[in-house]
Structure 1
Amino acid sequence: MDHYDLVILGSGSGNSLVTPDLDGRRVALVEASPVFGGTCLNVGCIPTKMYVYAADVADTTRSAPRYGVSGRVDGVDWPAIRDRIFGRIDPISAGGRAYRETGPNTTLVSGHARFVGPRTLDVALRDGGTAHITGDQVVVATGSRVTVPDVILASGVPFETSDTVMRVPALPASMAILGGGYVAAEFAHVFSALGVRVTVVARGPQLLRHLDGEISRRFTQVAREQWDVRTDTGVTAAHSTPGGVRLTLTDGSDLDVETLLVATGRRPNSDDLGVEAAGLRLHDDGRIVVDEYGRTGVEGVWALGDVVAAEQLKHVANAQARTIAHNLAHPGDLLPFLAAPVPSAVFTHPQIASVGRTQDELDAAGERYTVKVQAYGDTAYGWAMEDTTGVCKVLADPATGAILGAHLMGPQASVIIQPAIQAMSTGQSVRDIVRTQYWIHPALPEVLENALLGLELDD
């Protein structure tokens, strides 16, 4: 049995725990996947946004005539798009693996780890056999994985997930996307913009229901103008056909498509870790319970990222990794996880960004607020863009001027929202943010400035 000062499970954000502060310590990094670097690098944030950029270019080209510019998309070279993306990502992943295999003070263990006791693990090695390892400290950073409805699994039909669909050999003529969340919305944009006939099948009444209700409603309306959107609809059966897949829907209709993409959510990778043997506790949704410092309650065992956080976001996992890296090196000076509001973005069409509380949440809590919805098209740059759907919605406490939430749908929403994120994180009020700095005119962030100026605050 090999003993280490630190054992890390997962090579995503967990990989960044090996800092210079740990020089001289013996570290084992255990990775179950055949690829190195975690979800974000290989099948998540980075490749999807590279596809989104190509999709945005195609959409922009098609819309050029509205501005008096001749433009059209004559065709899409899917292999060229795909290979540009993975021609960059795959070498980074391989390089990360090679470095950990040969780098100082770290041993890469390729296999699936399960606790057999506190800080004691058996690793089923990918090349066969079992490794038995122990650690003075263990960090669980195993991430999350896609979920697939039982009706699809039981049917035996071929399907893609976010793990596989970006590497398909050719674009299909048609695609059904099961799900109404951010993964479904982003891939619907990508494949539709690249010429695929897309049908989105969502069980709920709207898409992106986790967002502010008004933004969700507005986006669903815009989505219906781009794709065939079936809301309040589920799948009762699925069958393989000579041309692909036939889905029988809850409304009694059949949907025939060439490719089926399942985007119905993700679950924490905690169910096959031997958490009982380790003494770890789980939330009802499978997340590992930790305190504000990342400690699990089992001496020497920490956890971070998707296997812990309510928000399955890379920037959350990275921030938690920075905190735990400090705490591992400075046990007498523990830092808590960042308690600031967590922003998020959906890189669909139009782009969406959100931070803080929604109007629905404030109404449910009976809290007093003031709200302003500012249209992109009522600002100078939005007017130049001929934008007709973009909005910036801001909610604030009328007594203190504290920003309670900001929700944007429109071009560059993920960029424009940042001043609101900063204000909420540093305690700046609406008055602070709009009266103590210049806002460039006629830049697009004026949509946020005008929304803030339009809030009715108590004198």
Structure 2
Amino acid sequence: MRHHDLLILGAGSGKALLDDRFADLDVAVVSAGPFGGTCLNTGCIPSKMLVATADVADAVRDAGRHDVDAQLQGVRWPDVRDRVFGRLDAVSAEDERDRREAANTTVHRGAARFTGPRRITVDTADGPVELSADRVVVAAGGRPVVPPVVAASGLPHETSDTVMRLPVPPERLVVLGGGYVAAELAHVFRSAGSRVVVVEKEERLLGQQDETVSAAFTEAVRDQWDLRLGRELTAVGGRPGDLRLTLDDGTELRADTLLVAVGRRPNSDLLDLERAGIATGEDGRITVDAQLRTTADGVWAFGDIATPVPLKHVANREARIVAHNLLHPGRERSMDYAAVPSAVFTRPQIAQVGLTERQARERGHEVAVAVHRYADVAHGWALEETEGFCKVLADRRTGRLLGAHLLGPQAATLVQPLVVALTAGMTARELAEVPLWIHPALTEVVENALLALPAAGH
């Protein structure tokens, strides 16, 4: 059994915590999947590169609103796919090569499972390898959920792990799910020429967003996608390339491709965690404290396998917290999830931070709400934008920001000053009146929403 100072399970954000401060440690990195993890290979980065292409195609289609005569001749999907993954596959390979060439690091490729406290077996191509370590970091990620009705059918289906590498866009794509993965990929393939049907069991898309945003987004995409809301998939039949999908109201949908995007689950069930004394919650996430320590001595966990907010920017912060705590025992730092922003890169784009209006009221806040439309600021006129808005929430007694929600162009960028203010505990009035806001920039939609909120105590 080979013993190491530090053992890391996962080569996504797990690998990312290593820097020069760990150069004097004997480190092992274990991964069954490609280096870079979900974000680099099947998640954030390739999907956003494809979204950028979709946005260009849609801009051409919509050029007439700016009195520009333009015609989209087509999206060269094989070229787009090869451009995206040609770059990302090279980055993944380079990441692995760099880690293998590091003098203090040993890389093991294969599935790992615990055999005891801080001991694992790795099923490599050359046979099982047994490892132990003084300290262990579990960052083994997650995977898409596939409902039993799909899995039991035996017929082919795609997930976010596979669909972006298809050789051609589907002619008829059915997307099962209404969350952010479903929305982004529906946007990509509709812009590439697919006829898209979205099946979602809730009555609105993006149900975890603020209710105003969720309702507005659902209406905004009705003319882009065939929406089957409040419906569930009950049977999958037909044959590969000609699927017959039955919904709970008896409707039958025909599709050449089914994309399953109903959520993700942590990979904790694959690791025999109980043998190491590592506890998990009912949802499968590894149980950690504020310093990201597990219930097992000398074991930390972070990223999609443990975090309450499975987003890459959250995992990056968690990696820095774990790295510090490994290097500075007795002076540990804690992870704070109080103001985590997120974005949905679809059309229209969405971003949010903090509480939704419903959450704020359920938590007992006396909530002040203000909404300002993109169409009511000068740069919104320049964009000919008619759908977008910024919604801000504040505590009516104290004036402190509680949440912010944007729908429209550049939402993921516009939300950032609101993230800073919420993190710093600023009032809405302080954010609106202390800094200067550029005119006529799109940020004025944020400024004006803040100014529309009543002053504290009113």
TM-score past 0.5 threshold: yes
CA-CA distance at 1:241 after TM superposition: 3.5
Distance 1:148 1:242 in 2: 17
Q: Which residue of 2 aligns with 1:50?
A: 49
Distance 2:241 2:82 in 1: 26
Distance 2:134 2:242 in 1: 52
Q: Which residue of 1 aligns with 2:103?
A: 104
Distance 2:89 2:228 in 1: 36
Distance 2:211 2:362 in 1: 12
Q: Which residue of 2 aligns with 1:253?
A: 251
CA-CA distance at 1:399 after TM superposition: 2.1
Q: Which residue of 1 aligns with 2:71?
A: 72
Where do residues 52-201 of structure 1 align in structure 2 (5 Å cutoff)?
A: 52-125=51-124, 127-201=125-199
CA-CA distance at 1:340 after TM superposition: 4.0
Q: Which residue of 2 aligns with 1:9?
A: 9
* 1:9–1:139 contact (8 Å) kept in structure 2: yes
* 1:351–1:410 contact (8 Å) kept in structure 2: yes
Q: Which runs of 5+ in 1 are unaligned?
A: none
Q: Which residue of 2 aligns with 1:25?
A: 25
* 1:158–1:240 contact (8 Å) kept in structure 2: no
CA-CA distance at 1:339 after TM superposition: 4.2
Distance 1:71 1:439 in 2: 34
Distance 1:219 1:208 in 2: 8
* 1:319–1:338 contact (8 Å) kept in structure 2: no
Distance 1:453 1:63 in 2: 32
Report the 3-state secondary structure (helix = DSSP H, G, I; strand = E; otherwise coil) of the residue aligned with 1:155.
Answer: coil
Q: Which residue of 1 aligns with 2:429?
A: 431
* 1:320–1:338 contact (8 Å) kept in structure 2: no
1:411 maps to a residue whose letter is: P
TM-score, with structure 1 as normaliser: 0.98
Distance 1:190 1:135 in 2: 44
CA-CA distance at 1:373 after TM superposition: 1.0
* 1:101–1:108 contact (8 Å) kept in structure 2: yes
Percent same amino acid among aligned pairs? 52
Answer with 40-49 or 425-434: which moved more.
Answer: 425-434
Q: Which runs of 5+ in 2 are unaligned?
A: none
Answer with 331-340 or 410-419: which moved more.
Answer: 331-340
Residue deviations 1:308-342, cap 9 Å, x none?
A: 11111000000000011111111131111134411
CA-CA distance at 1:194 after TM superposition: 1.3
Distance 1:336 1:237 in 2: 46
Q: Which residue of 1 aligns with 2:301?
A: 303
Distance 1:220 1:128 in 2: 51
Q: Which residue of 1 aligns with 2:369?
A: 371
CA-CA distance at 1:103 after TM superposition: 1.4
Distance 1:273 1:434 in 2: 49
Q: Which residue of 1 aligns with 2:450?
A: 452
Q: Which residue of 1 aligns with 2:318?
A: 320
1:218–1:338 CA distance, 2 compared to 1 (3 A): same
1:10 maps to a residue whose letter is: G
Residue deviations 1:273-328, cap 9 Å, x none?
A: 11111111111100001011111121100000111111110000000000111111
Report the 3-state secondary structure (helix = DSSP H, G, I; strand = E; otherwise coil) of the residue aligned with 2:269.
Answer: coil
1:288 maps to a residue whose letter is: I
Q: 1:221 aligns with which of 205, 219, 222?
A: 219
CA-CA distance at 1:437 after TM superposition: 1.0
1:111 maps to a residue whose letter is: G
Q: Which residue of 2 aligns with 1:273?
A: 271
Report the 3-state secondary structure (helix = DSSP H, G, I; strand = E; otherwise coil) of the residue aligned with 1:83.
Answer: helix
Find out whether 1:293 has 2:297 as its counterpart: no
2:28 maps to a residue whose letter is: A
Distance 1:289 1:90 in 2: 33
CA-CA distance at 1:172 after TM superposition: 1.6
Report the 3-state secondary structure (helix = DSSP H, G, I; strand = E; otherwise coil) of the residue aligned with 1:302.
Answer: strand
* 2:141–2:266 contact (8 Å) kept in structure 1: yes
Distance 2:36 2:306 in 1: 18
CA-CA distance at 1:242 after TM superposition: 6.6
Distance 2:122 2:171 in 1: 43
Answer with 430-439 or 84-93: which moved more.
Answer: 430-439
CA-CA distance at 1:364 after TM superposition: 2.1
Structure 1 consecutive aligned stretches of length 4 or more whose deviation exceeds 4 Å: none
How many aligned residue pairs are there?
A: 457
Answer with 37-46 or 429-438: which moved more.
Answer: 429-438
